[in-house]
Amino acid sequence: LEEEALQQVEEAASVKELEAVRVKYLGKKGPITEVLRGMGKLSAEERPKVGQKANEVREAIQARLEERTKGLEEKALEEKLSSESIDVTLPGRPIKKGARHPLTAVVEEVEDIFIGMGFKVTEGPEVETDYYNFEKLNLPKDHPARDMQDSFYITPDLLLRTQTSPVQARTMEKHEGKGPVKIVCPGKVYRRDDDDATHSHQFMQIEGLYVDKDVKMSDLKGVLETFVKKYFGPDRSIRLRPSFFPFTEPSVEVDVSCGLCQGQGCRVCKHSGWIEVLGAGMVHPRVLEMSGFDPEEYSGFAFGMGVERFALLRYGIDDIRHFYTNDLRFLEQFKRS
Ligand code: PHE
């Protein structure tokens, strides 16, 4: 019996087969258990002999079983290790890195320039009240200039802001009539427009506001000139043209000299030598007053620019829609190493 069992232990090819052998010979229904169970029927003389023998056989089989099990387990582990080993000398696969969106890059660059001139970055809500978007900026309900900014209304009093200017009003209000207020406000704005290469119903603006005692038009010109030279290059200049905004008086349109044709005239500047980049002006006394500033004591300037326009000019992009469609072939051109 012992020999037969040991033979089968040797032949077993897996841990599972070994277990089957164990059950067969050493299990509850196996021959050894049977012998031990039948001991009661034996004579007192035979009992210790048979018992001892049975135990010896059992232990021998048991010991061999354990050895084989251990051997097989080790072999299985070794096989697993070698089949799952990692070749650390293989070259890695490159990870695709993202890039900053060109509009984000422009916003950050513009912010940095103004931070350098003492401005603070401030943000406001995109869903705005009619009150802050229009009324507080000297645009009462029936004002014809509201037509300049065709709006997305959510309720009669709530709309998607058409400009970043409401952040001016909100910030001035918080200052409770005390200057200085010196902020730039970047953000998304919305106007009803048919999208094409140069129009989008959603775009970005950066607004600037400086309110303090004795702020003059020449301060506005100086700040904008510094900004334009930092952003476009030191050889560029600006010119101011009279314009109209309800919240500034006087109002100006700001042009930057065309860097491509050096004033000779080209397609980009529509042969005029100048490119329009900003709206600006001196904060209207009524706007100051409505936001709690005494116009006798305080004055200020404000300006607003379209971020897309700055990006189009900087990178020579021909269609504003590229900014919103997230085509990787477009976006990947703005990667910096
Ligand atoms: N908010 C104006 C616009 O969207 C731009 C502007 C801002 C003009 C501040 C003057 C002063 O057209």
Compute the distance from residue 228 Cα to the ligand 1 centre, in Å. 17
Cβ(60)–Cβ(32) under 8 Å? Answer: no
Give Cα 114 to chain centroid, integer Å. Answer: 24
Cβ(28)–Cβ(37) under 8 Å? Answer: no
Residue 26: burial class (beta carbons within 10 Å; 0-12, 13-18, 19+): middle
Global pTM reads 0.73
7-61, pLDDT tens digit by residue? 888 888 888 888 888 888 888 888 888 888 888 888 888 888 888 888 888 888 8
Q: What is the DSSP pairing of strand 153-155 with strand 238-245?
A: unpaired
State the sign of the Cα–Cα–Cα–Cα dihedral 302, 306, 310, 313.
Answer: negative
Bigger pLDDT: 293 or 8?
293
Q: Which of 245, 252, 247, 244 is nearest to 276 (CA)?
A: 252
Q: Would you state the pLDDT for residue 94?
A: 87
Give me the half-sphere count of Cα atoms (radius 13 Å) on the Cβ side of residue 121. 14
Cis preceding linkage at 250, omega within 30: yes
Q: Confidence band (pLDDT; 50, 70, 90) for 244?
A: very high
Q: Which of 172, 152, 202, 219 is nearest to 307 (CA)?
A: 202
Measured from the Cα of 164, ligand 1's closest atom is 1
Q: Of the residues 163, 204, 241, 254, which should be mutated to test ligand 1's pocket, given the most ligand atoms within 8 Å of the CB? A: 163
Instruction: Give one word for 154, left, alpha or beta, with left for phi > 0 and alpha for psi -120 to 50.
Output: alpha
Q: How far apart are CA 183 and CA 210, in angstroms?
A: 7
Average pLDDT in the chain: 91
Whether the CB of 302 sits within 6 Å of ligand 1: yes
Whether the CB of 206 sits within 6 Å of ligand 1: no
Protein residue whose Cα sits closest to atom 2 of ligand 1? 304
Whether the CB of 279 sits within 6 Å of ligand 1: yes
Give me the half-sphere count of Cα atoms (radius 13 Å) on the Cβ side of residue 254. 24
Q: How far apart are CA 257 and CA 236, in angstroms?
A: 6
Whether the CB of 185 sits within 6 Å of ligand 1: no
For the chain, give the percent of residues with pLDDT over 70: 99
Q: Confidence band (pLDDT; 50, 70, 90) for 289?
A: very high
Q: Confidence band (pLDDT; 50, 70, 90) for 337?
A: low
Instruction: With residue 242 as reference, give the H or E element that holds it.
Output: strand 238-245
Compute the distance from residue 89 Cα to the ligand 1 centre, in Å. 60
Q: How far apart are CA 278 and CA 280, in angstroms?
A: 6
Measured from the Cα of 168, ligand 1's closest atom is 9
Measured from the Cα of 162, ligand 1's closest atom is 4
Q: Of the residues 247, 284, 308, which should be mutated to test ligand 1's pocket, given the most ligand atoms within 8 Å of the CB? A: 247
Q: Would you state the pLDDT for residue 237?
A: 94
In three-state secondary structure terms, 119 is coil
Q: Would you state the pLDDT for residue 240?
A: 97
DSSP single-letter state for residue 264: S
The answer, yes or no, to whether residue 224 has pLDDT greater than 80, is: yes
Protein residue whose Cα sits closest to atom 4 of ligand 1? 163
For the chain, give the percent of residues with pLDDT over 90: 55
Q: Confidence band (pLDDT; 50, 70, 90) for 143?
A: confident
Average pLDDT over every residue of 149-163: 92
Give Cα 131 to chain centroid, integer Å. Answer: 32
Angstrom CA distances, 122 to 166, 209, 212, stand at: 11, 10, 17
Whether the CB of 134 sits within 6 Å of ligand 1: no
Measured from the Cα of 163, ligand 1's closest atom is 4
Cβ(12)–Cβ(69) under 8 Å? Answer: no
State the sign of the Cα–Cα–Cα–Cα dihedral 295, 129, 123, 315.
Answer: negative
CB count in 10 Å sphere of residue 171: 19
Least confident residue range of 7-11, 179-183, 210-214: 7-11
